[in-house]
Homo-oligomer: A and B are copies of this chain.
Amino acid sequence: MAKVKVGINGYGTIGKRVAYAVTKQDDMKLVGVTKTKPDFEAYRARELGIPVYAASEEFLPRFENVGFEVAGTLNDLLNEVDIIVDATPGGMGEKNKPLYEKAGVKAIFQGGEKASVAEVSFVAQANYENALGKDYVRVVSCNTTGLTRTLSAIQDYIDYVYAVMIRRAADPNDSKRGPVNAITPSVTVPSHHGPDVQTVIPINIETSAFVVPTTLMHVHSIMVELKKPVEAKDVVDIFENTTRVLLFEKEKGFESTAQLIEFARNLHREWNNLYEIAVWKESISVRGNRLFYIQAVHQESDVVPENIDAIRAMFELADKWESIKKTNKSLGILK
């Protein structure tokens, strides 16, 4: 069967990782990516033999001025693909959607968009089936994906969830954003993250969120009020048997997010991607009818396998577990 032709609109933190992941799939073909300017990321794409398109006509001069030959513009790319992965900054996906509709291509949007932009909000292990044959799918944000991965695994036990999210201020390659020395709360409590989880799984959840001066990972402090009894060791077993979730022990030196990223660096993962959600094993505990655990989310990469699985679902290339296993194998995801 012909490979699905994939284009990436926005070759940034997520876009470049999804582009890489597509090249690792035997049932997909990367047709090209868009850039707004000829920076080192654009030159790297060209080195890799990836056709680079201008994100729109208006950006062409930037490329011409430095003699960077583009393969065309977004519209040209749209004519070449079966599906476009929109990895543009939050809110732009909605603006781009008419172009995709006009071109008659399927589209995947990221978590920065409103749920209404797509037919389904997606986390593979939670609701792969809902995306089967769909034209517009939204892969939820890194934080929502992280919450959904672990919470969907213990869904039967959940009466209520309260999660506090301690968010990294900027990505490692972003030297503009702050704060340098402050903690910034989202003063609207509960935050929007709870409802966002509910676009994927029907659980009772409320959240609050804070930004702190670090670049590596987000961290979630999760408290679950239990519908039925469970012991900590049972939850350990469940997470050990949950795909894209890994347990880490402080006792082995995983004292902070710094060592979690070092773990990914030791694996020689591309861009030190930690596709899996990292749960501190010692943090899993049950007190009365409450379960507690702490997890970390690699904001740069946890949604990458979700984008791949979403493509498969939208073209009905594979069933849920066939796709997840295929994606995991291709990216070196441990389980």
Give chain A's interface residues, CB within 8 Å of chain B: 16, 38-41, 43-44, 162, 164, 166, 168-170, 172-185, 187-190, 206, 208, 210-217, 219, 221, 223, 250, 252-259, 261-263, 265-266, 268, 270-272, 280, 282-283, 285, 287, 290, 292-294, 296
Taking the closest CB of chain B, its distance from the CB of A316, in whole angstroms, is 32
Asked if residues A166 and B180 are in contact (CB atoms below 8 Å), the reply is no
Given A189-B285, A271-B265, A294-B189; A170-B175 close (CB under 8 Å): no
Taking the closest CB of chain B, its distance from the CB of A268, in whole angstroms, is 5
Asked if residues B216 and A185 are in contact (CB atoms below 8 Å), the reply is no
* Chain B residues closer than 8 Å to A215, beta-carbon distance: 180-181
Asked if residues B214 and A283 are in contact (CB atoms below 8 Å), the reply is no
* Chain B residues closer than 8 Å to A258, beta-carbon distance: 172-175, 179, 181-182
Given A181-B181, A182-B175, A272-B265; A187-B257 close (CB under 8 Å): no
Asked if residues B285 and A214 are in contact (CB atoms below 8 Å), the reply is no
Asked if residues A179 and B175 are in contact (CB atoms below 8 Å), the reply is yes
* Chain B residues closer than 8 Å to A169, beta-carbon distance: 178, 180
Asked if residues B266 and A189 are in contact (CB atoms below 8 Å), the reply is no
Determine which residue in A216, A266, A271 has the highest number of CB atoms from chain B within 10 A of its CB, and name it: A266
